[in-house]
């Protein structure tokens, strides 16, 4: 089994990759930004072992801040993946690079296939697209795995925020005109590890893959499901439009990703989003 190096290991996704990998006894090592800055060429070259697999979960993810700090976002999301891809290419390591639905315009009416034309509308989306392009140009055997609406239920993510608001407020207004795929970080982590360990026995050809939990939802749908999941009345969630919550970076109105490429590669499809949310809420309760 190949050694796996996870960058951005203290983030939402990276921490679940490490947790799942180590709990299953897999040779997984995580590095946070303090131990490995993915934009540091010498440090990255020293960290990537020959024949290993790198899962890049490191990113500049402050979508709104990126609008006024595109240089910083591009350094991490555009240049960083290029540095990783070069280091992997130099020593024969494999690379799995995580990307986002924000590379698309978000004005589709049906799920985006992997070969749909990217057309990012935000600085974050542009920076992530640069990273995808660099990875694919430098290391064609690499996998670019796009995902969307990732949550753990901890910290300040959407699910955690809804759990908190359910306790603090009578009602909460949530936008009901953006459609996407809520994705439990742990399910995506399992998918990334499955892809990584296929590198030995039955490698998946390099290219772009889409990995999200199944189905689609609006933020309002997700909020109602969180309320119901914690035993609260979902009618306390009130639908509203994006116009009522204007943010610095535009949000895609429709960014559902088509997971056909993932299942066609023989990878286990991520379960439907409602099942995943139920599991996530159960895990949070168990750890409370």
Ligand X SMILES: NC(=O)c1ccc[n+]([C@@H]2O[C@H](COP(=O)([O-])OP(=O)(O)OC[C@H]3O[C@@H](n4cnc5c(N)ncnc54)[C@H](OP(=O)(O)O)[C@@H]3O)[C@@H](O)[C@H]2O)c1
Q: Which residues are catalytic?
A: 124
Q: Which is nearer to ligand X, 65 or 232 (CB)?
A: 65
Q: Tell me if 102 sits within 8 A of 120, measured CB to CB.
A: yes
Least distance to ligand X, CB of residue 178, Å: 13
Helix 219-229 and helix 273-287: axis angle, to 10°?
40
Report if residue 78 touches ligand X, rule: CB under 6 A: no
Confirm or reject binding of residue 98 to ligand X (CB under 6 A): yes
Question: Mask of contacts with ligand X, 131-170, x by CB under 6 A?
Answer: ----------------xxxx--------------------
59 binds ligand X (CB under 6 A): yes
Distance from first CA to last CA of the chain, Å, rounded?
34
**Residue 91 CB coordination number (10 Å):** 12
Residues 55 and 18: beta-carbon distance below 8 Å: no
Return the range that interacts with ligand X (CB under 6 A); candidates 8-16, 115-123, 232-240, 262-270: 8-16
Among 21, 80, 120, 191, binds ligand X (CB under 6 A): 80
Among 57, 172, 179, 195, binds ligand X (CB under 6 A): 57
Q: Does 255 bind ligand X (CB under 6 A)?
A: no
**Stretch binding ligand X (CB under 6 A), from 31-39, 214-222, 259-267, 278-286:** 31-39
Please enumerate in sequence order all residues whose Cβ is within 8 A of that of 267, keeping only pairs 6 or more positions apart, or say none.
191, 194, 195, 198, 204, 209, 211
Binder of ligand X out of 27, 32, 206, 214 (CB under 6 A): 32
By CB under 6 A, residue 60 contacts ligand X: yes
127 binds ligand X (CB under 6 A): no
Interface with ligand X: number of residues (CB under 6 A): 27
Tell me which of 52, 100, 122, 218 binds ligand X, using CB under 6 A.
100
Buried b (16+ CB within 10 A) or exposed e, 218-245: bbbbbbbbbbbbeebeeeebeeeeeeee
Choosing from 17, 58, 84, 204, the residue that interacts with ligand X (CB under 6 A) is 58
CB of 143 to ligand X, least distance (A): 13
**Residues engaged in binding ligand X (CB under 6 A):** 7-8, 10-14, 32-33, 36-39, 57-61, 76, 80, 98, 100, 128, 147-150
């Amino acid at each position: 089994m190949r050694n796996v190096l996870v960058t951005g290991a203290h983030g939402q996704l990276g921490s679940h990759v490490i947790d799942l990998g180590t709990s299953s006894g897999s040779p997984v090592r995580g590095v946070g930004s303090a131990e490995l800055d993915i934009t540091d060429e010498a440090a990255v070259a020293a960290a990537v072992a020959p024949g290993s697999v790198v899962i890049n979960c490191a990113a500049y993810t402050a979508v709104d801040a990126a609008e006024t700090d595109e240089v910083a976002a591009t350094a991490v999301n555009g240049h960083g993946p290029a540095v990783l891809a070069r280091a992997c290419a130099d020593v024969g390591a494999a690379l799995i690079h995580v990307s986002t639905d924000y590379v698309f315009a978000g004005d589709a009416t049906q799920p985006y296939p992997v070969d749909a034309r990217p057309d990012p509308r935000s600085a974050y989306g542009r920076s992530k697209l640069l990273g995808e392009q660099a990875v694919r140009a430098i290391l064609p055997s690499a996998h670019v795995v796009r995902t969307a609406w990732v949550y753990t239920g901890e910290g300040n993510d959407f699910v955690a925020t809804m759990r908190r608001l359910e306790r603090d407020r009578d009602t909460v207004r949530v936008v009901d005109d953006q459609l996407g795929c809520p994705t439990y970080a742990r399910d995506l982590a399992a998918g990334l590890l499955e892809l990584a360990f296929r590198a030995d026995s039955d490698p998946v050809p390099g290219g772009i893959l889409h990995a999200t939990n199944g189905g689609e939802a609006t933020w309002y749908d997700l909020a109602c499901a969180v309320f119901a999941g914690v035993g609260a009345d979902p009618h306390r969630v009130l639908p509203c439009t994006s116009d009522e919550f204007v943010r610095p970076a535009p949000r895609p109105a429709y960014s559902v990703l088509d997971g056909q490429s993932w299942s066609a590669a023989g990878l286990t499809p991520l379960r439907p989003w409602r099942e995943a949310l139920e599991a996530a809420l159960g895990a949070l309760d168990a750890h409370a």
